Amino acid sequence: MTLPEDLRLSQHLALIQLRFERGQYRQALEEVKQAQSRYPQSGKLRLWQALAQEALGETQEAILLAQTLLRNPDPEVAQQARYVLGIWQAPRLRRPAEWLSEIPDLSRLEEADPPEYRLAYGRSQRKGPSPRSGDPLSRRAADPPLDTKPLIWVLIGILSTLLAVMAWLP
């Protein structure tokens, strides 16, 4: 996507934020550097640069850049720099193993044989077609019939009560 070179700072910031929110950290960093050539004194651009660098795993460079922003004349930029530095420089806590849940690798689940399905999920193999496959009408036919007698009697009782109330009113 080619962009005109004469974007305003607010347009650059909006584009950087959009790319950052989409997880396009490398493109966001490139956009920051492009915008910095036009707005070299912008503290907001340098803050976005630090955020993108940290997202790309360049945490030490991001910390050094954010530390320079603590003395930024824009109080909002300085406050945000303090905030992210507090997060990035916080000590890493050790977590006991029982606090962690291991998530199984499900990337090869479709390739697995049915016995592996049973082992992974503790369920027995189903007979016949899967209820999730096919069109919705075939799935409805596979469901057991619903016992509607009690429902019909309840509805008859409600209708009788309504008719009696209507007959009683003038």
pTM listed for this prediction: 0.54
pLDDT tens figures, 24-53: 999 999 999 999 999 998 999 999 999 999
Distances (CA, A) of 76 to 15, 65, 86: 20, 16, 15
- The pLDDT assigned to 2 comes to 44
Long-range CB contacts (< 8 A, 24+ apart) of 125-129? none
Of the candidates 35, 60, 40, 39, the one whose C-alpha atom is nearest the C-alpha of residue 50 is 60
Instruction: List domains and CATH numbers for the chain.
Output: 9-88 (1.25.40.10)
pLDDT tens figures, 120-163: 555 555 555 555 555 555 555 556 677 788 889 999 999 999 99
